[in-house]
Amino acid sequence: MKSILKWILILKSLAAVYSLEPFTIFAAGSAVTSLFIATVSIFNNRREPPSPSSSSSPPPTPLPPPTRDDECSEEYFKDGISYLKQDLDTNVFGQDFAIELIAYVVRSHFNIKYPQAPLVMSFHGPTGTGKNHVSKRVAETLFKNGIHSKFVHHKIATKEYIRNTKHSLTEFKTELSDFIEKKSKLCERSLFIIDEVESMPEGLTDVLTPFLDYHDKVGDQDYRKSIFIFLSSVGADMLIDRFVNHYKNEKTRETVPLKDMANLIPTIAYNSPGGFKNSKIISKALISAYVPFLPLERKHVKQCAEKELRKCNAEFNNFTTESIANQLIYDPNNYYSTQGCKTIPSKVGIYC
């Protein structure tokens, strides 16, 4: 774009030298410009953002001090970020890789004063492995009212889209897009949690593209400080298979090649039925981190039970947690709990 300006300047100076009619200069200028744009669009795969304001990026202007609410203040966020990792370490079991990755990307997103795009994380894994739990912890650390904060927004696909057969995809798209637009106005660091993406209609996530892309602004709104978390079971089969294969030989989860597994997720997601199928948010690489959650072993189930027991001040010993763990279902090899920690709270109640 700078080159266009340069061209126009050159043309203007030529005009000055040869004292041409203003219209001639304009025509020549636009011809050169369109040629330039045409050439660029041939060689540049990246789609031009739809908003007119994104053609050039002036230096970002400093934001006014937050006045809307204490919760939506950089000071408050800074505080939360400083103990996010610790919070996840103490509240989440068996997901060291996920914790490390999430704490890292969240921290770096908040460290950058003017991020180029929102932070978009996608959590993948079998039921009960802590995807929902972790997203709640992120909400709890960043917002005073946690998951109930008016800046934290939760969409559950099965509730919104599966049981709702009255509406068309276009209506869902409009609703979702309006929802993001409206809620983002409340705080520029809004947290959107989109749950059960595998149950979203195919094509719906495409409507999120302008919000997640590297735009200065969409309309008059800046989305680059927001956080989006997608939750899904997409890729769970792959994660279980690879975990079991590895565990069979090594008997430890510490050496599971999680990075390689995470790299497989986008392709699997792009080809699996649901909201990620053929999704532009995958093909345009708008997801910053694909986070794999491993199946949980019996020892983690016991840790979950222990935490729940402490929560209700129950007296317990090893026998208590053992008998709770016995009530869960494990895979035929007894490597992992098929429901993770999901049913633990309902089993613990009796001891409270």
Binding mask 278-317 toward ligand NAG (x if CB under 6 A, else -) reads ----------------------------------------
Handedness of CA 325, 235, 179, 174 (dihedral sign): negative
Q: How far apart are CA 163 and CA 34, in angstroms?
A: 49
Nearer to ligand NAG, 138 or 304 (CB): 304
In the complex, what is the shortest distance from the CB of residue 140 to ligand NAG, in angstroms, rounded to a whole number?
29
In terms of DSSP bridges, do strands 227-232 and 152-156 run parallel, antiparallel, or are they unpaired?
A: unpaired
CB 14 within 8 A of CB 20: yes
> Please, is 88 exposed, middle or buried when counting C-beta atoms within 10 Å of its C-beta (0-12, 13-18, 19+)?
buried
CB 209 within 8 A of CB 283: no
Nearer to ligand NAG, 37 or 314 (CB): 314
Ranges within 313-342 binding ligand NAG (CB under 6 A): 318, 322
Bridge partner list, 120: 228
Q: What six digits make up the tokens of 195?
A: 């749950």
Is 19 a residue that touches ligand NAG (CB under 6 A)? no
In the complex, what is the shortest distance from the CB of residue 333 to ligand NAG, in angstroms, rounded to a whole number?
18
In the complex, what is the shortest distance from the CB of residue 156 to ligand NAG, in angstroms, rounded to a whole number?
37
In the complex, what is the shortest distance from the CB of residue 302 to ligand NAG, in angstroms, rounded to a whole number?
8
Q: Which residue is nearest to ligand NAG (CB)?
A: 318
Nearer to ligand NAG, 148 or 310 (CB): 310
Count the site residues for ligand NAG by CB under 6 A: 2
Nearer to ligand NAG, 260 or 322 (CB): 322
In the complex, what is the shortest distance from the CB of residue 243 to ligand NAG, in angstroms, rounded to a whole number?
23
In the complex, what is the shortest distance from the CB of residue 240 to ligand NAG, in angstroms, rounded to a whole number?
25
Nearer to ligand NAG, 258 or 325 (CB): 325
Q: How far apart are the first and last CA of the chain?
A: 66
Nearer to ligand NAG, 231 or 325 (CB): 325
Q: How far apart are CA 157 and CA 172, in angstroms?
A: 11
Nearer to ligand NAG, 75 or 322 (CB): 322
In the complex, what is the shortest distance from the CB of residue 299 to ligand NAG, in angstroms, rounded to a whole number?
10
How is the beta sheet containing 227-232 ordered, strand by strand? 152-156, 191-195, 227-232, 119-124, 289-292
How many CB atoms sit inside 10 A of residue 244's CB?
15
CA 9 distance to own-chain centroid: 43
In the complex, what is the shortest distance from the CB of residue 317 to ligand NAG, in angstroms, rounded to a whole number?
8
Distances (CA, A) of 328 to 121, 251, 324: 30, 21, 7
Q: CA-based angle 228:229:235, to the nearest 5?
A: 140
Nearer to ligand NAG, 325 or 341 (CB): 325
In the complex, what is the shortest distance from the CB of residue 162 to ligand NAG, in angstroms, rounded to a whole number?
42
Nearer to ligand NAG, 178 or 322 (CB): 322
CB 124 within 8 A of CB 239: yes
Q: How far apart are CA 38 and CA 295, in angstroms?
A: 51
Q: What six digits make up the tokens of 318?
A: 């090893």
Where does this chain bind ligand NAG (CB under 6 A)? 318, 322
